[in-house]
């Protein structure tokens, strides 16, 4: 890690910029069909909770935990830092690959979490999208 203090919200907002640039293409290709009109709670065990709202217009990062979210993803700040640096996907955590304590995922949320984890991993490993975005 680079030594700077990790801030989950700031990092997710950076990823949201890239996500939003690529949303038209991802919608056109059907990559995020399973995620459209969904809310996903992203939490640190240390306390920070954020809600990601995903639509055909893009992804928004909102402070707090939406009680009506379709799925939730929780792990430690250190593990979020590793995930958002592209080292491992979130799925590696709930499968027990990154930390001794698994982060459970409810069965009815599994498909959303797995799809989001896959797309998120692609986002963090892509070079920055062109400044003007991608046209579909």
> CA–CA separation, 75 vs 6, rounded Å?
14
- pLDDT at position 4 is 61
pLDDT score recorded for residue 97: 55
Domains of the chain: 8-124 (3.30.1050.10)
Please give the share of the chain, as a percent, with pLDDT higher than 70. 79
| pLDDT digit string, tens, across residues 30-76 | 999 999 999 999 999 888 999 999 999 999 999 999 999 998 888 88
Lowest mean pLDDT among 67-71, 93-97, 109-113: 93-97
DSSP string, 18-63: HHHHHHHHHHHHTTTGGGTTEEEEEEETTS-EEEEEEETTEEEEEE
């Amino acid at each position: 890690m680079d030594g700077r203090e990790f801030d989950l919200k700031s990092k997710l907002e950076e990823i949201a910029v890239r996500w939003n640039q690529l949303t038209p293409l991802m919608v056109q290709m059907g990559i995020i069909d399973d995620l459209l009109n969904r809310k996903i709670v992203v939490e640190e065990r240390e306390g920070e909770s954020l809600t990601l709202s995903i639509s055909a217009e893009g992804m928004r990062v909102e402070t707090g935990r939406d009680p009506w979210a379709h799925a939730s993803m929780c792990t430690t700040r250190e593990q979020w830092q590793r995930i958002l640096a592209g080292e491992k996907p979130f799925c590696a955590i709930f499968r027990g690959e990154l930390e001794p304590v698994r982060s459970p995922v409810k069965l009815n949320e599994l498909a959303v979490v797995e799809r989001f984890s896959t797309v998120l991993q692609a986002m963090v490993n892509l070079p920055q999208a062109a400044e003007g975005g991608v046209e579909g």
